[in-house]
Amino acid sequence: MIKKTINNIPKDKKDHVLLGMFIGYPFMILGYLIDVYFDINFMFISGALFSILLVGLKEILHDGILRKGNVELWDFIASAIPIAFPLITYFL
């Protein structure tokens, strides 16, 4: 059942999820390490928000202005989901 569900997701959206992971996780980990080292509590959040900004700019610049893809809100959402979930769990 899980395999069928995953197979029903378009390949494009799977690629955007991976893009969000590859961009978001390193910035969030770096922000977390800075938070721990300097005893502050906003760099993890800053890293996550910066990553969401980057995937949004990718949609606008790469897909929109350079016309190397289709600008779609769902592509942005698919890219932002793997960044947003750790950010949400950070607050819980």
Q: What is the pTM of this model?
A: 0.90
State the pLDDT confidence band at 61, using cuts at 50, 70 and 90: very high
Residue-level pLDDT at 2? 92
**Pairs from 10-19 (Cβ < 8 Å, separation ≥ 24):** 12/75, 13/74, 13/75, 13/78, 16/55, 16/75, 16/76, 16/78, 16/79, 17/78, 17/79, 17/81, 17/82, 19/55, 19/58, 19/79
Residue-level pLDDT at 34? 96
Q: What percent of the chain has pLDDT over 90?
A: 93
What is the per-residue pLDDT across 26-49, written as a single tens digit (0 to 9) for each?
A: 999 999 999 999 999 999 999 999
State the pLDDT confidence band at 4, using cuts at 50, 70 and 90: very high
- Where are the chain's structural domains? 2-91
